[in-house]
Structure 1
Amino acid sequence: MAAKRPPQSSRRPPRWPAHLEYLEEPRYHSSVPKHIRELVSPAPTSHTPAQTHQQKAPVAIHPISDPSHPARGQYGLFATKKIPPRTLLVDYIGEVHCDDRPGSDYDLSLYRTPDHVSVGVDAHFCGNEARFINDYRGVKPKPNALFQERRTERGELRMSVWSGGEPIKKGEELLVSYGKSWWRARQSSNETDT
């Protein structure tokens, strides 16, 4: 019997592609064992504060039209206001899983257990605005944002996007480093495809 999926949010941001499911909270795949789920998303205690409605992220999805941009014809994530350094921008939301997803370009590592079980967050088919953040390579000399894990008020582990050490101007594209291993995996995948 398939697990019930939470209802899709009616609060889709502008320019959200119709073929993708918008999520406000992570979805847990059946590949996540109970003991790992309890590590990543512990059950609330009576002392855990009630969840407060998350403030709207200061980001917007926009199409990329600059001919020199490596992601031309796709989307990017842009600041809707001036953002101070070291500010939490948005959590990377998707399907939390423990299975292998080599075909997804939207799969981020969340946690590795001491017994080497990898927990990822995949936003290939469902997610939030954070799935549209691009790599800085070919756009800017360095990233202006970064991925960093954090625990929510309820204790749930999340991978989040934070502004870097410099302010980000309103209208500026948010750019992170996907990491050399991400690019190596894409390069080796392209070599085997040809």
Structure 2
Amino acid sequence: MKAHKNVVEPSHWPKYLRYTQSYIYHSSVSLEVKKTINEGPKSPQRSSSSQNHNSQKNNHVVIRHITEPSHPAYNQFGLFASKKIPAKAHILDYIGEIHADERLTSDYDLSLLRLKNGESIGIDASTTGNEARFINDYRGIKLKPNAAFIDYRTDSGELKMGIWAANEDIKKGDELLVSYGKAWWKARTELQ
């Protein structure tokens, strides 16, 4: 799929995926839920000065093909630091299709919001997304993750799922690694 007008795909972006720098809403998402996502108080614990704004090209990361046979994502892709990233800094946001339907088989689906009525709103980057969809789990690569998924609200109040550096600097060339969480791994073993 082609990128949107004025949006440049990053190097090594697979041609079978749609690149986007902003949320795309699935028809399962109501207007009320869109409003909840787009309008809320700014997160007090996160500094907007450290945020990459999605309208700007992300220059903190690069997508690389993984060629090491011992790597759990061998012959797939990973996300790497293109320059040093300070501890606890915002790296980029996880962008994809916002949905309210179940997507049990997607390996690229994150929970964004759970509503009071129990409805779960997710971000699925299986067919459309940004560089963040290539971040791998740390298991089998390092002893611990060097980044984390943390939700926050921008200065305008939009709810985002950010990827933030952990408590130590990330060196240029290091692979960015998070924990997918026990629930993600449990769901994968149940599907087998």
User: 2-side partners of 1:127 and 1:80: how far apart?
Assistant: 19
Judged with a 3 Å threshold, the aligned counterparts in structure 2 of structure 1 residues 99 and 52 are, in CA distance, closer, same or farther, namely closer
Asked if 1:28 corresponds to 2:30, the answer is no
Matched residue, 2:72: 70
For residues 95-153 of structure 1, the C-alpha deviation after alignment (integer angstroms, 9 at most, x for no partner) is 00100111210000000011111000000000000000000000000000000001122
Query: Which residue, 84, 100, 124 being the options, matches 2:102?
Result: 100
Matched residue, 2:38: 41
| Counterpart residue type for residue 113 of structure 1 | L
| Counterpart residue type for residue 81 of structure 2 | A
User: 2-side partners of 1:56 and 1:168: how far apart?
Assistant: 16
User: 1-side partners of 2:126 and 2:54: how far apart?
Assistant: 27
Query: Which residue, 76, 81, 84 being the options, matches 2:83?
Result: 81
Matched residue, 2:174: 172
Shift, 1:10, TM fit = 3.5
Shift, 1:187, TM fit = 0.6
Asked if 1:134 corresponds to 2:136, the answer is yes
Query: Deviation above 3 Å: which 4+ runs of structure 1?
Result: 6-10, 51-55
Aligned length: 178
Shift, 1:52, TM fit = 8.5
Identity value in percent: 51
Q: Is the 8 A contact 2:94 2:133 kept in 1?
A: yes
Q: Is the 8 A contact 2:7 2:20 kept in 1?
A: no
User: 1-side partners of 2:5 and 2:123: how far apart?
Assistant: 18
TM-score, normalised to structure 2, is 0.88
For residues 133-180 of structure 1, the C-alpha deviation after alignment (integer angstroms, 9 at most, x for no partner) is 000000000000000001122211010100000011100000000001
User: 2-side partners of 1:161 and 1:142: how far apart?
Assistant: 15
Q: Indicate the RMSD between aligned Cα atoms, in angstroms.
A: 1.7
User: 1-side partners of 2:34 and 2:4: how far apart?
Assistant: 21
Judged with a 3 Å threshold, the aligned counterparts in structure 2 of structure 1 residues 9 and 134 are, in CA distance, closer, same or farther, namely farther
| Counterpart residue type for residue 12 of structure 1 | E
Structure with max Cα Rg: 1
TM-score, normalised to structure 1, is 0.87
Shift, 1:53, TM fit = 4.0
Judged with a 3 Å threshold, the aligned counterparts in structure 2 of structure 1 residues 72 and 28 are, in CA distance, closer, same or farther, namely same
What SS is found at the alignment partner of 1:76? Answer: strand
Q: Is the 8 A contact 1:9 1:22 kept in 2?
A: no
Shift, 1:55, TM fit = 5.6
Q: Is the 8 A contact 1:83 1:168 kept in 2?
A: yes
Shift, 1:60, TM fit = 0.3
